[in-house]
Structure 1
């Protein structure tokens, strides 16, 4: 079931409204609130200084007094969920409501040290049509976080292996923590994040797998650099959750031989109902999971 939310739109001057009437803005920023009160307000103030892009704050009601926030930040659009929502639900809402060519998902507990969106947008325009471009991340001590993920299958479970990012553009299996710049139209063609899967990590992994298997890569870009200004360590919650069979069947129930796709059993995490969905979408797969593993470029390899 879709999460319920309300939208409180930002105020725009009449000149800007007229100038945008017949064209689409390039980029908007979606800030996922990890804090409340003055900490959230401080994050909004900080993020609003980076660029003149529309700013959206995604949060739920208990995280702040909405009338006060709107009065303090009239230039911000607030997307407010009635109850705490998954990352995927918030990201999908951002894609539905932002009306820009690209959107950048970040978090309120991050500060952006390098905010060069030009290179990221150029990369998203490449002929291989990346599904997302992800940022380089550091902890509060400016130590790098292993944001590069390589595909691996372990005892029937897709269990990506983490690597530290390099100073080069590097492929990564999924956007770490979901952070990154997405092309809105492609994101929606890929059906966004699957809200039938529980757990933020598994929703994000599923999106990354679908992107790569459908032929749309994901890259980490050093010129996007953010820092967790209060956190020393960041841990993904990879505990097993409802929807694992759904994820694994979509990722593993296809085998490509001689350029042709065939349905197969997904192994121990197989869901026959999802298998029927996969059969209908066989033509969308440009590769299979095993080929993805075999052809994967380790960090540092030239693209």
Structure 2
């Protein structure tokens, strides 16, 4: 099959896209983007299985399928190792459809029918992202619903629980970055922050910023995915990434003139090299987006309730 090759720049990231010449049908509302992790010897079979759900196209990172399928495929080759959040940002920028389903190469889609009706429903709701129910490689459910808390003597935590109902519910973060994203809302939110290099704190900052800006991430138990290998474990270590998360969200205050970052919040960075410059840039970012904040982090956590049922 013939292909076209093009080089792209996104910030400081350089990546090359190899596209099959199969034309897009423009009849399906979602694409699939698959992120790389480890080695999956059955990856081509997984891609073939995904093609049966009739996505508009499949975007692959740093992988060339060994089997030919009828769905248009774009291979995205990066020059350097990128965080999951950075890869999602690229996928959302490059996708041609209103919705993008983010998966990993070691995750299989369980749903019997990812129908056009599902995406119509997602569009009607207008949510930022719909996350799936996760299962381990033995088919056992994994706690997939998340909520934020301020525990005693700790800065902030996200806890996971098992959803006991068949209906949808509001959830705080995208577990393992997986889910069906509303592309326009994602790009409007600004995507994942590439300056936060910890993938755990990338997800937490994205979830808190989304909530503070009035967006919703929804857990849908009818959408199931299964790990084919070991379940990855988040690194929740407190680092500079935690500080960046806190200054972009937890430390932001509300006023009649919009959101602002108090000068006293500099104490988070006073020991860091170039801490003052970092703080000024963060403060300017909050000022630039001051009218996009609908509430502060404390109100988000205090008012955490289930989203209206689907």
For the aligned pair, the TM-score class normalised by the smaller chain equals 0.7 to 0.9
Q: The residue matched to 1:135 in structure 2 has which SS?
A: strand
CA distance change for structure 1 residues 118 and 201 in 2, over 3 Å: closer, same or farther?
farther
Deviations 1:133-191 (A, max 9, x none): 11111111222112211112344522111111332201111111111111111111111
Match of 1:272 among 258, 279, 283: 279
Match of 1:40 among 34, 43, 49: 43
- Structure 1 residue 248 and structure 2 residue 212: aligned? no
Contact 2:168–2:221 at 8 Å: present in 1 too?
yes
Structure 1 partner of 2:30: 27
Tell me how far 1:9 sits from its aligned partner: 0.7
Structure 2 partner of 1:191: 190
Write the distance in 2 (CA, Å) between the matches of 1:291 and 1:220. 21
Tell me how far 1:72 sits from its aligned partner: 4.1
Structure 2 partner of 1:141: 138
What TM-score do you get using the length of structure 1 for normalisation? Answer: 0.83
Contact 1:170–1:219 at 8 Å: present in 2 too?
yes
Write the distance in 2 (CA, Å) between the matches of 1:9 and 1:217. 33
Match of 1:131 among 89, 112, 128: 128
Q: The residue matched to 1:198 in structure 2 has which SS?
A: coil
CA distance change for structure 1 residues 241 and 42 in 2, over 3 Å: closer, same or farther?
farther
Contact 1:25–1:101 at 8 Å: present in 2 too?
no
Write the distance in 2 (CA, Å) between the matches of 1:201 and 1:150. 14
Deviations 1:17-44 (A, max 9, x none): 5x64xxx851110011224463332322
Q: The residue matched to 2:43 in structure 1 has which SS?
A: helix
Match of 2:159 among 133, 158, 161: 161
Match of 2:83 among 79, 82, 86: 86
CA distance change for structure 1 residues 11 and 35 in 2, over 3 Å: closer, same or farther?
farther
Contact 2:100–2:181 at 8 Å: present in 1 too?
yes
Match of 1:289 among 290, 294, 297: 297
| The 10-residue stretch of structure 1 (200-209 or 38-47) with the greater mean CA deviation from structure 2 | 38-47
Contact 2:258–2:293 at 8 Å: present in 1 too?
no
Structure 1 partner of 2:13: 3
Q: The residue matched to 1:283 in structure 2 has which SS?
A: coil
Structure 2 partner of 1:56: 59
CA distance change for structure 1 residues 191 and 278 in 2, over 3 Å: closer, same or farther?
same
CA distance change for structure 1 residues 48 and 242 in 2, over 3 Å: closer, same or farther?
farther
Write the distance in 1 (CA, Å) between the matches of 2:186 and 2:86. 13
Write the distance in 1 (CA, Å) between the matches of 2:238 and 2:260. 28
Deviations 1:68-113 (A, max 9, x none): x377457421111122211011111101111211111011111111
Contact 2:40–2:106 at 8 Å: present in 1 too?
no
Write the distance in 2 (CA, Å) between the matches of 1:99 and 1:44. 19
Contact 1:70–1:76 at 8 Å: present in 2 too?
no
Write the distance in 1 (CA, Å) between the matches of 2:268 and 2:42. 41
What TM-score do you get using the length of structure 2 for normalisation? Answer: 0.81
Structure 2 segments unaligned to the other structure (5+ residues): 1-10, 270-277
Structure 1 partner of 2:105: 108
Structure 2 partner of 1:223: 222
Write the distance in 1 (CA, Å) between the matches of 2:259 and 2:171. 24
